[in-house]
Structure 1
Amino acid sequence: MKTKTLYFSLLLLFLASSCSNTKYLPKGDLLYTGGKVKVEDDSISKKERKNLRKSMQDMLRPKPNSKVLGLRFKLYIYNIAGEPKKEKGFRHWLRYKVGEPPVLFSQFDSEFNKNVLRNYAENKGFFQTRVASDSTRRGKRASADFLVKPGSPYKIKNVIYPADTMALEQAMMTIKDKSFLKVGETYDLDKVKAERQRIDTHLKEKGYFFFGADYLKVQVDSTVGTHQVDLLLKVKPETPKLARNVYKINDIIVYPNYSVNTDKVVTTSDSIQKYHDFTIIDPEKIFNPRIFDRTLYFKRNDLYNRTNHNLSLNRLVNLGTFKFVKNQFTIADTIGNYLNAFYYLTPLTRKSFRIEVLGKTNSANYTGTELNISWSNRNTFRGAELFNVSLFGGLEVQLGGQNQGFDVYRAGTEMNLIWPRFLTPFKTNSSSGFVPKTKATLGYEYQLRAKLYSLNSFKASFGYMWKENLRKEHQLNVSEITYVSPSHVTPLYREQAATNESLNKVIEKQLIFGPNYSYTYTNTMETAKKHTFYFKGAFDLAGTLTGLLTKADIKKGDTIKVLSVPFSQFAKAEAEFRHYMKLGDNSKLASRIIVGAGYAYGNSAEMPYVKQFFIGGTNSLRAFRARSIGPGTFNAEMQTNVFLPDQSGDIKFEINTEYRAKLFSVVNGALFVDAGNIWLMNDNTDKPGAKFSGKFLNELAVGAGAGLRFDLSFLVLRTDLAFPLRIPYLPDGQRWVIDQVNFGNGPWRKDNLVFNLAIGYPF
């Protein structure tokens, strides 16, 4: 009975919105509900017809009013809001910001749309396209129908390049084998334009600074055969002499303290510095001239090329020192076919002070706030070095679960010094548009976990960062040192740790030092692509060299201490891969897989706690409380702790997939499934079932759920509601709990539904 009532209510809502959407139309006009394109022609394949129809459908104008679940809610809101009496207030906002005015049939121009479709088809090689149109009226609604008969497409018979002996034409001939225009393929105007651009790009690399794609024309001869064309590429006769000349670099002049508020540059003899091939106009001597020798690719007498042009600009911007970067080339007055290169650089404020208040969540399911205060100097030693000192403090609380009440307080400081070059005894060169950097870090953090303990953490590192290009990034820390010392351990914590060895590991003194490396690849910035990827691989090697030199072996009792603390010796590798598949303009499928393993040896019997793996929580398995799953089939809840310890492991496997779609305005929805677990390398009598084995797939935790994402431009607020589908610590054969899902049952909801509040996407 309830189901029938729901369906009846939805039907009434649909009818009510439909009536109201046509009630307020201008007299004699109709609501335009959209157009449809049908492609009919047996001379082309079904796939070609489908592609034409899809492309043409998107070209029809105007677009009809948008729909959500088949209903024009925005139009409905526009109508019921009524005409506001003033240009502000709730009614004005509701009608013009949330609502949407009706798209009228009188706005539809049949001939205009027919010409658009015909032109598109001809640009794709269908030179004999016929288009017919009709309209259909139903009550106060009207739609349009287009019938397209494209005919057979014209294929390319020959691609003819200019045979002139002039240098410009000869330069074009050298790259004709890489042409986008292929004999036998269908004529396509977009490919013709791309070919002109390709030739122009090549000529720019050969010194033709003043040449442009508009100086090229492609003549189409359709008389050479049945449904065939010859394409003749020519340089236009009116192409100026400047565009036909090859240019080299003469003077390179840099103004590193240029103001965008004035067009005049005042130069005095004492403000000019000569450094190698560069002339630096810097009266106040703000920058060391060697910066520009490392950053700019052009040298005197170099042949002009667009690659070095763009790389130089990219590196100047990437220094992080200049607010504006302007470049200009002019013909040299004193020598023929030479260019003078001018660089006008507007510095950012050298010293800055910043205060930030942040909302944050972490993988341990804690939510809180943080205050950051930082001071920066962007040109510390006149070499564009960035020095930053920051102070931070924050509070994190767990809103639900056994750790509720054990709040975390954090405070600390960090200093970073970044040089825009590699600090090495060897000379290094980079052909990337991104400046390689050397980074040194020194930091301290005090962490207080209420009612339990506090930790003092010291960190220092020295390493290098460099990007091959926009997609590939490397970071190598030659050495990273971490020292952790506990204090103020409460009787409550010691009481629980007496029966749980894992808790003792948290408050052990730890000394970790050694190199680590990470590599990142991503093309997610290419939003037009259907498939985009993100990969990050990291490797951590701690205490290896020291362990070899000292012959440390904990199995033999030969434990070596540094500063009265046994140093950690281990190797750890982790890889994360993400795939994003675009399903439509407002929907995508996002997937992730994480694999990691760590192995302790020599001076260590097991991985240090801070370097182990964890799973569960807002950015992991969302159907399970943070760090509550694993290792393996071990059930931490069976222990009689006042609070739930964070479970950790030496091996991690996790896989996630999430369907994301825009619902309306700033609200996006998601459906997701998460699976994974952690394991130990060795047996642990305190944690039965924790060791990794060949049966690891049978020990995966699985959860599913749905959520909302509120994209507020400056942040994404995320809410997820998840529940378990498979619980690894249940007896074998009883781990799948899908059959127990019962949203109408109160006790089930209390025990199984997990609500996550977070900032940002999980991956």
Structure 2
Amino acid sequence: MKRGFFYILQLTMIGVLASCSATKFVPEGSYLLDAVAIQVDNKKIKSSELKPYLRQTPNTKWFSLVKTQLYIYSLSGRDSTRWLNKTIRKIGDAPVIYNENEALRSSEELTKVMQNMGYMGAKVHRNTKTKKKKLKLTYQIISGKPYIVRHLSYDIADKKIENLLQKDSTNSLLRRGMLFNVNKLDAERQRITSYLAQRGYYKFNKDFINYTADTVRNTYLVDLTLHVLPYKTDMNASATEHKQYRINKVNFITDYDVLQSSALSSIEVNDSIHYKGFPIYYKDNLYLRPKVLVDNLRITPGSLYNERDVQRTYTYLGRLAALKYTNIRFFETQVADSTLLNCYVMLTKGKHQSVSFEIEGTNSAGDLGAAASVSFQHRNLFHGSEIFMFKVRGAYEAISGLQEYSSNSYREYGAETSISFPNFLFPFLSSNFKKQIRATTEFGLQYNSQIRPEFSRKVASASWSYKWSNHPKIQHRLDLLDVSFLTSWLSDKFKQKYIDNHQEYILEYNYKDRLIVRTGYTYHYNSRGGALTDNTIASNSYSIRAGIESAGNLLYAVSRLTKQGKNSDGEYAILKIPYAQYLKADFDFAKNIRIDDRNSVAYHMGFGIAFPYGNAKIVPFEKQYFSGGANSVRGWSVRGLGPGSFPGDNNFLNQSGDMKFDASIEYRSKLFWRFQAATFIDAGNIWTIRNYENQPGGQFRFDKFYKQIAFAYGLGLRIDLDYLVFRLDGGMKALNPVYSNKKERYPILNPNFKRDFTFHLAVGYPF
């Protein structure tokens, strides 16, 4: 009781000191802007949507709770010339002093926003409350009755444009009965401009579109007219109809220097060739095959100018690793009254060859090690922007706890090579079909050797895959064929201990020679577009990733049709090598919700299942799931959780499963400089489909699985370097499904730092 009272007293004193220090640098007669609130009398309008229009906001809070940086700033002395004080002030934030003029400008901005939304009579009132040197400001918005579009008409003198817009009227953003929303009116201007730019109107822009809005007297009704103005070169020129432009010639310039003048006369050209009617100009030598350039062009001579074709050309040429920049320019022909455009595709050569080195440290359950790799990359191997890669890797780790073996080290050697083509390669398909797919084809070879005192394991694989994107936010990957051969060597001691008694069935299965022939497909959608996978504080976004793969089906069909015999383990084999057969599916959803410019909430949920059948009773270890680690339930170490309520037996192969569930939620907050912090809650586990003797409690059962979901909580620190994110996470167990008694099952009620805490060092966000 006394200890609890002492803690409360301490917290109270800290709060009082913090309150005092917050106003340390607030001048007399001024106030610290402590809080700002927006209250709207209309439920249809969210106050959060209006906050970006405020001209002055309070000091930021860590995790939306504490103004830590303000308190850090207040720790500095009053002598701003001293080094220590300057350093502390750079880390912290100066107090935001309430400014009456900024508050007035905020009221004006909020009024404009409400009017743009159709609430022309909206009013904004400001209320302030002061206490000592702190001020709380509230904007009360009375929206009033909105203005409604009663009648909608169009004034278009250009008959061609009028006919085009009539055909596209179903896509219009304007409707009778809509709110008189200025933002929607401007969006319609932009939509029409984009629509016409795809139909030859090269010089059309949204300034040629305006509106007339007549309000009906004593009502809240508006008669709206959309005007499309005729073309004028300037205010004094005579009005004419808008011209539809056609593409005349398309020229390639392959050695354009972006640092020099963009005038065509200043570009240095020594030679040229013509390919299928397209002139290609170059300086010394043509580093890309003409066919590659033409195949990635979507601008067609003789066709109407189309802005979408221009953007597609940018996208397709941007896929070529041999190029650094692409710039497309259009010039009207010199013939009088001509509506023809000459197109120049100007390309800047990229760096074609590079060598990179990587060094990393490893820590596996306290065993320290190091790894190094070197890779070579050529981005234009056959002058078609093919990417060739060759990489070798080596690793060493000292292993503890293996006194009965002569060696106590782990060594790994590996090599991989791949070649990627920027087009769809497949026999017996027409060139037009291949152009439409716009896929990247990749062939790869890999070899990996892992040598431990107890055993060694070698994996050789070959792959054939495709990647493509027909939408800026969607990516597809098809692994058409992936063949892996696994072979192992086991020491006599290891065999005697684990294999010869035939009780470690999972271990025995995974350490026999095995062939895996698989096919898979992955779909990835990111609402922010591009190849972004990390959810940051920058904006609201979400991503969906789904995949499916199968292995062994074709081989199993051949084995059955040819009536092959089975081996002693009851498996079909190819060249005396048994093959795996399974079906695997995964789904993952992640979402980021922006609270303000410094705080966000991110969460994700993932499911997966791998089902062995036919020629296998177990999914190969490389395709199984594990739980725990930096990207899973962070209260457990890597492969330290599950399956189910299985406590583990110091054999990492037994802590794998056929099903998984992962869920996490993080509150992310920017601190200072490039530092970010996060507080998180994780949940999840893995399960087996079948009941294995070596994994008691690991089988998935509908009446038990929800009781076996583990929970963890913790704090994290991240350093965001834009191109790389370093992450430190500390997780504590909250619910441990291994135990049934309350004291051990709920470590959140009886925490033991040594037993329940796990530290993780990782690169990138967890989801």
Give the structure-2-normalised TM-score. Answer: 0.86
Question: What amino acid maps onto 1:544 in structure 2?
Answer: L
Match of 1:616 among 624, 628, 634: 628
Query: 2:133 maps to which residue?
Result: 140
Query: 1:43 maps to which residue?
Result: none
Match of 2:73 among 78, 92, 111: 78
SS at 2:23's partner residue? Answer: helix
- Does the Cα contact within 8 Å between 2:644 and 2:685 map onto a contact in 1? no
Instruction: Please say if 1:448 is aligned against 2:451.
Output: yes
Alpha-carbon deviation of 1:442?
1.1
Query: 2:488 maps to which residue?
Result: 486
Instruction: Please say if 1:741 is aligned against 2:721.
Output: no
Deviations 1:433-465 (A, max 9, x none): 99411111112112223x322222211112222
SS at 2:471's partner residue? Answer: coil
SS at 1:196's partner residue? Answer: helix
Match of 2:712 among 704, 709, 732: 704
SS at 1:244's partner residue? Answer: coil
Alpha-carbon deviation of 1:494?
4.6
Deviations 1:601-659 (A, max 9, x none): 24x4543333333333333343444335555555543xxxxx42422666213131323
Query: 1:720 maps to which residue?
Result: 730
- Does the Cα contact within 8 Å between 1:207 and 1:303 map onto a contact in 2? yes
Cα distance between partner residues in 1 of 2:418 and 2:391: 9
Cα distance between partner residues in 2 of 1:739 and 1:560: 45
- Does the Cα contact within 8 Å between 1:624 and 1:724 map onto a contact in 2? no
Alignment of 1:250-269 (within 5 A): 250-263=248-261, 264-268=266-270
Cα distance between partner residues in 2 of 1:138 and 1:406: 69
Query: 1:674 maps to which residue?
Result: 683
Cα distance between partner residues in 1 of 2:682 and 2:703: 21
Cα distance between partner residues in 1 of 2:400 and 2:99: 56
Alpha-carbon deviation of 1:224?
6.1
Deviations 1:647-686 (A, max 9, x none): 26662131313232316332322221312222144x5455
Alignment of 1:237-256 (within 5 A): 237=230, 239-240=232-233, 244-256=242-254
Alpha-carbon deviation of 1:422?
1.4
SS at 2:9's partner residue? Answer: helix
Q: 1:478 to 1:135 in 2, by over 3 A?
A: closer
Cα distance between partner residues in 2 of 1:169 and 1:17: 66
Cα distance between partner residues in 2 of 1:677 and 1:141: 52
Cα distance between partner residues in 2 of 1:238 and 1:305: 19
Question: What amino acid maps onto 1:618 in structure 2?
Answer: A
SS at 1:298's partner residue? Answer: coil
Instruction: Please say if 1:505 is aligned against 2:498.
Output: no
The range that moved more, 375-384 or 606-615, is 606-615
Cα distance between partner residues in 2 of 1:632 and 1:340: 67
- Does the Cα contact within 8 Å between 2:371 and 2:396 map onto a contact in 1? yes
Cα distance between partner residues in 2 of 1:596 and 1:366: 31
Cα distance between partner residues in 2 of 1:406 and 1:621: 30
Q: 1:697 to 1:133 in 2, by over 3 A?
A: closer
Question: What amino acid maps onto 1:62 in structure 2?
Answer: Q
- Does the Cα contact within 8 Å between 2:549 and 2:583 map onto a contact in 1? yes
Cα distance between partner residues in 1 of 2:49 and 2:465: 50
Cα distance between partner residues in 1 of 2:508 and 2:243: 76
Q: 1:686 to 1:235 in 2, by over 3 A?
A: closer
**Any gaps of 5 or more consecutive residues in structure 2?**
234-238
- Does the Cα contact within 8 Å between 2:711 and 2:736 map onto a contact in 1? yes
SS at 1:573's partner residue? Answer: strand
Matched residue count: 734
Alignment of 1:318-333 (within 5 A): 318-333=319-334
Cα distance between partner residues in 1 of 2:732 and 2:758: 5
Question: What amino acid maps onto 1:125 in structure 2?
Answer: G
- Does the Cα contact within 8 Å between 1:505 and 1:609 map onto a contact in 2? no
Match of 2:524 among 520, 523, 527: 520
Instruction: Please say if 1:571 is aligned against 2:573.
Output: no
Cα distance between partner residues in 2 of 1:78 and 1:398: 48
**Any gaps of 5 or more consecutive residues in structure 1?**
41-45, 638-642
Instruction: Please say if 1:308 is aligned against 2:320.
Output: no
Alpha-carbon deviation of 1:179?
1.6
- Does the Cα contact within 8 Å between 2:520 and 2:547 map onto a contact in 1? no
Question: What amino acid maps onto 2:543 in structure 1?
Answer: F
SS at 2:654's partner residue? Answer: coil
Cα distance between partner residues in 2 of 1:111 and 1:293: 58
How large is the Cα RMSD of the aligned pairs?
3.5
Q: 1:459 to 1:10 in 2, by over 3 A?
A: same
Query: 2:280 maps to which residue?
Result: 280
Alpha-carbon deviation of 1:47?
0.7
Instruction: Please say if 1:357 is aligned against 2:365.
Output: no
Alpha-carbon deviation of 1:719?
1.4
The range that moved more, 380-389 or 653-662, is 653-662
SS at 1:617's partner residue? Answer: coil
- Does the Cα contact within 8 Å between 2:539 and 2:594 map onto a contact in 1? no
Alpha-carbon deviation of 1:140?
2.5
Cα distance between partner residues in 2 of 1:516 and 1:136: 63
SS at 2:69's partner residue? Answer: helix
Question: What amino acid maps onto 2:669 in structure 1?
Answer: K
SS at 2:21's partner residue? Answer: helix
Deviations 1:356-381 (A, max 9, x none): 3346789x999865423111111111
The range that moved more, 70-79 or 573-582, is 70-79
- Does the Cα contact within 8 Å between 1:514 and 1:541 map onto a contact in 2? yes
Query: 2:236 maps to which residue?
Result: none
Q: 1:110 to 1:691 in 2, by over 3 A?
A: closer
Q: 1:383 to 1:742 in 2, by over 3 A?
A: closer
Alpha-carbon deviation of 1:720?
2.8
